[in-house]
Structure 1
Amino acid sequence: MSMRTTAIPTAKKLVYELALTKGIVSKSELMDQLALTSSSLTRLLEEMTAEGLLQEGGRGDSTGGRRPILYRLNARYGYVWGLEISRLYSSLGLFDLHMNPLRLTRWRMDASMTPERLVAHVEAEVRAGMEEQGIRTAQILGMGIGAVGPLDQRTGRLLSPLFFPAGGYADLPIRDLLEQRLGFPCMLENGANTALIGEHWMLRGEDVRHMLYVHAGAGLRSAMMSNGRIVYGAIDPEGAIGQMIVQVDGPRLQENGNYGALEAFASVQALEKRARTQLRSGSGALALPDSRPPAPDAVSYDTLLEALRRDDPFARELFAQSASYLGVGLANLINILHPERVILGGALIASHEMFFETATRVAGQNIYYSSDYRPSFSKGELKEDAVATGAAVMVLRNLKV
């Protein structure tokens, strides 16, 4: 199954894209962008309005003659879904053609969330959302899926993702499974890319063209945009940032990972591993709220997060060290890619304000061209909804209308 495949004139696609990006456009703005006569553009606008894709959005300011008619997309022409599939949490959003969120849900990816249960859960949420909004299947333009990589976009499969609490996600044809259950087309992209697409969408009025997105959670993921376009490699490179070496002959997190890789210092798995090792050796101490020391092997990320929020010294030091290493990794990327904006997301970034502040401070101190160049850092506008929102934007960007 694929997105709508009706052949379209280039001019119609450009009108659609301008209305999607700008929100509202005038005929004179369109004339500046299109190689059409005034009468041809008028006929095109009338056709797009008649089919329900465009609608009049009032009148603009007069420049001496009649006030121009403004056009915008008809929000109810169709609807799109955006799905995030991640290791700790997944989410699902329903949006209209103005990218207004009509429904957003989020759930924990625990050991019971097998692929079969995930697909069933997504289907149930989609059916509930469509019933709630009074939407028919024929009105759904598609679903974008932002998933943990590595993946194969061509075949719509998750290849060998790590650290899922439940098994069965390797070589998973997730796109086909969802299309078969839902009855409308789906697109698969790695989650870091869709998060960046979503955050770039939120900045569309600022003409930001070079952006870096880094997600620090159960693993490390990154995405880069240059001249407004996602940068791709020969293979899906989403998790490559985790294998950046930041300490020669340092530890490694997984058997096939690099020694001294960033993921061994700045990830949920690394925090748990380091905490358990130090507690076993007696080089660290952690107390539960009732002052009982936990068994080292029972210490989880949730345990450490709770301790951090109590300002436990041991937990705070673990998170601070992790944030410093992430800052070094960020500086390495920035010194190569030179983005204008750096967006940080994921469970570690959300853990405590100290983590974000430490990571960005260390990164800033190690930017080589710091006197002439200074990117801005933020947690983004969409935060935990970035992946799902960007996945929905991806559908609209690729829609054949």
Structure 2
Amino acid sequence: MMTNYRTTPKNQIYHRIEIGGIASKAELLDSSGLTSSTLSRLLDEMLEQRLLTVSGRGQSSGGRKPILYSLNASYGYMFGLEISRFYSALGLFDMQMNPMSFTRWRMDEAMTPPVFAAHVAATIRTLLKDHQLEASQVLGIGIGAVGPLDREAGRILKPLHYPAPGWHDLPICTLIGEHCGLPAYLDNGANTALLGERWAMRRAQPQHMLYVHAGVGLRSAMMSHGQLVHGSIDREGAIGQMIIQLGGPRLQESGNYGALEAFASIQALEKQARLQARMGRSHLTSAYLVGPDEITFDLLMRALAQEDAAVRELFLQAAACFGIGLANLINIFHPEQVILGGTLVNAWEPFYTSSIETAIHNTYHYPDYRPSFSKGELREDAVATGAALMVRELALH
């Protein structure tokens, strides 16, 4: 089922109260642009629906003390589900987006879609019991998944590198909905991560944001004027096909030659390290008693921890390429906030700092134009949090 992020007056009121925790009618009039009668009607509706509660009265400026409104945290509850290649996560949230529970698990060869859905359903039952909630109090489950997707049909299409079979052309919303007895909504994980991070920065209210996830593959999402940018098709991994070297190598048989993913991804690092080992240019095979094809990202991380100079150089080269890709996106989109996430970004701090330095060095009009960089506020919880936010937004329409 397709998600809808259209802003309505009810959304605006709800989010304005959320920013400050409480708000008076006068404060809402100043920020909403609504007429007094329209605002009064909407506030009455939201009180009747139990979306809002009255939290007492504020300070008087000469007349009656103003009524203060706050969000009703117990109006309903949402689950946010992240589906990724390495691990998946499930969070339970109230209407104030307080994370009541969070759990994550590894994705392995046994985690086929039926097994996955049964695990999610069993976890949901456990969490509801732990918090003494009924399924009828849950508004739905939002899903942030690795693409490509058909959001409108609620399907995962042809994802790469899942360890278990069965994930191609999968009606994930139907599957999860049938197992869990809840309405399910789908978007790609990069988009839900950006939704989550923007919510975490709600007091600053950034309007133009870029999110880039670097892990097994590369994924990205953009936000303009506070709204997610959706293309005519969902291809969150298309950033990985950005060509940064004409005639360069390619990672997959179907990928572009010289594409960013061939230089700056976990797969690219493993492929380069294995190639060096086969050519006798690496000591990893003898140091760790493995064959070239047994060199994994985990092994490279062990070598980094031992301050291996050759592996360090491999990561720094990948960071430089990643920074070039970031600069290309920044020069096209001009975001005010750039959030970087993913296993590769978080694995080694010099990768993160070096990629930012390269991006800044190649940003047009720098230093007059200075985007802010961060790893975000929610980090590994961003995808599931944003997925739960999808459900809450739909409840406000």
TM-score by length of 1: 0.93
Amino acid across the alignment from 2:299 = T
What root-mean-square deviation, in Å, do the aligned CA atoms of Structure 1 and Structure 2 show? Answer: 2.0
Equivalence for 2:332: 336
CA contact (8 A) 1:93 1:388 kept: yes
Could you tell me which runs of 5 or more consecutive residues in structure 1 were left unpaired when the two chains were aligned.
4-9
Amino acid across the alignment from 2:239 = I
CA contact (8 A) 1:2 1:186 kept: no
Structure-1 separation of matches of 2:33 and 2:368 = 38
Amino acid across the alignment from 2:330 = I
Q: Deviations over 1:142-170 (max 9, x none)?
A: 11100000000110000000111111111
The 3-state SS of whatever aligns with 2:236 is coil
Superposition map of 1:354-373 within 5 A: 354-373=350-369
Q: Deviations over 1:330-367 (max 9, x none)?
A: 00100111000100000001111111011101101101
The 3-state SS of whatever aligns with 2:167 is coil
Match of 1:283 among 281, 284, 303: 281
Q: Using the TM superposition, give the Cα deviation of residue 43 of structure 1 relative to its aligned residue in structure 2, in angstroms.
A: 5.8
CA contact (8 A) 2:330 2:363 kept: yes
Q: Which contiguous aligned blocks of 4+ residues in structure 1 show a shift greater than 6 angstroms?
A: none
Match of 1:134 among 108, 127, 132: 132
Q: Deviations over 1:297-337 (max 9, x none)?
A: 11111111121122112221121111111001000100111
Q: Using the TM superposition, give the Cα deviation of residue 375 of structure 1 relative to its aligned residue in structure 2, in angstroms.
A: 0.4
| Range 390-399 or range 330-339, more displaced | 390-399
CA contact (8 A) 2:89 2:102 kept: yes
CA contact (8 A) 2:147 2:159 kept: yes
CA contact (8 A) 2:260 2:325 kept: yes
Equivalence for 1:6: none
Q: Aligned residues: percent identity?
A: 57
Could you tell me which runs of 5 or more consecutive residues in structure 2 were left unpaired when the two chains were aligned.
none
1:256 aligns with 2:225: no
Structure-1 separation of matches of 2:98 and 2:309 = 43
Equivalence for 2:304: 308
1:71 aligns with 2:69: yes
CA contact (8 A) 1:331 1:363 kept: yes
The 3-state SS of whatever aligns with 1:200 is helix
CA contact (8 A) 2:285 2:291 kept: no
Structure-1 separation of matches of 2:246 and 2:386 = 36
Match of 1:224 among 222, 225, 230: 222
Q: Using the TM superposition, give the Cα deviation of residue 13 of structure 1 relative to its aligned residue in structure 2, in angstroms.
A: 5.2
Structure-2 separation of matches of 1:182 and 1:116 = 12
Equivalence for 1:324: 320
Structure-2 separation of matches of 1:339 and 1:292 = 43
The 3-state SS of whatever aligns with 2:116 is helix
Compared CA separation, residues 47 and 88, structure 1 to 2 (3 A): same
TM-score by length of 2: 0.94
Equivalence for 1:146: 144
Q: How many residues align?
A: 393
Match of 1:243 among 226, 241, 262: 241
Structure-2 separation of matches of 1:313 and 1:384 = 29
CA contact (8 A) 1:17 1:397 kept: no
CA contact (8 A) 2:243 2:257 kept: yes
CA contact (8 A) 2:157 2:170 kept: yes
CA contact (8 A) 2:80 2:386 kept: yes
The 3-state SS of whatever aligns with 2:101 is strand
Structure-1 separation of matches of 2:23 and 2:210 = 29
Match of 1:120 among 107, 111, 118: 118
Amino acid across the alignment from 1:370 = Y
Amino acid across the alignment from 2:197 = E
Equivalence for 1:111: 109
Equivalence for 1:91: 89
Equivalence for 2:207: 209
Q: Using the TM superposition, give the Cα deviation of residue 256 of structure 1 relative to its aligned residue in structure 2, in angstroms.
A: 0.5
Structure-2 separation of matches of 1:111 and 1:243 = 27
CA contact (8 A) 1:286 1:314 kept: no
Structure-1 separation of matches of 2:197 and 2:300 = 29
CA contact (8 A) 1:249 1:260 kept: yes
Structure-2 separation of matches of 1:178 and 1:135 = 19
Compared CA separation, residues 333 and 12, structure 1 to 2 (3 A): closer
Compared CA separation, residues 44 and 368, structure 1 to 2 (3 A): closer
Q: Deviations over 1:225-269 (max 9, x none)?
A: 111111111111301100001111111110100001000111111
The 3-state SS of whatever aligns with 1:141 is strand
Amino acid across the alignment from 1:273 = K
Equivalence for 1:7: none
Q: Using the TM superposition, give the Cα deviation of residue 50 of structure 1 relative to its aligned residue in structure 2, in angstroms.
A: 4.2
Q: Using the TM superposition, give the Cα deviation of residue 21 of structure 1 relative to its aligned residue in structure 2, in angstroms.
A: 5.0
